[in-house]
Amino acid sequence: MNKKILAIIMLVAVAGFMHQHVRGQTAKEVSPDSIKYEGATYQKIKPKPAYPKVVAYLSFVTPLETLQGGKFTRNFDHHTASIGFPTGINILYSERFGFSYEFIPTVKASNGSSKMSNLTFHPGTMFRFDHGFTIITRLAFETSGRYGFTPVFNQVFARSRAVNYFVAASLPNRFGNSDPYAIGLNLQLGFTFN
């Protein structure tokens, strides 16, 4: 009787050990970037994106502060508000470089009425860096008669399969139309279609 009990205890102990050993092997998860085949783990090869690649985007931009003729002007001061709706196409030639074509219709609201006050054609080169950071050097041609350039500092802050969301700060520099030189600080939010 003691030999039978001892044999059962040993059998339970061996079964428990085997169960723990097998469970320990199956508990190892395979990462989403790898494939397990016939007991071996292989890394998936990620395809490189094909270039050139064209992506479109929609956004809105609001001037925060403008310095012109020695005077600072803030958006929303004196019951006046201005908002632009940049829409464009980016042609990405590589992981690091692209070209952007942008149009910005601007709506201005003042004293209880609103109107489209300006349209800007804003082409520029894109210098793309790691972690979704991009510097864009844009030329600016406005229907108001002004022209100039706009450096843009763009950061992607969220990604999904369909769109990438970005925030940008821009420094529009404007000349012409018999007005003094102006420099501003703008905030832009938007998304690109993947």
Q: Mind listing the pLDDT tens digit for each residue in 57-84?
A: 999 999 999 999 999 999 887 778 999 9
pTM of the predicted model, to two decimals?
A: 0.73
Report the candidate in 97, 184, 114, 109 with the shortest Cα–Cα distance to residue 149. 184
Contact in structure between 193 and 162 (CB atoms under 8 Å): yes
Distance CA 158, CA 167 (A): 10
Report the candidate in 124, 127, 147, 136 with the shortest Cα–Cα distance to residue 169. 136
CATH architecture of 53-193: Beta Barrel (2.40)
At 111 the pLDDT is: 85
Report the candidate in 57, 62, 36, 6 with the shortest Cα–Cα distance to residue 162. 57
pLDDT digits (tens, 9 = 90+) for 143-183: 999 999 999 999 999 999 999 999 999 999 999 999 999 99
* Residue spans in the chain of domains classed CATH 2.40.160.20: 53-193
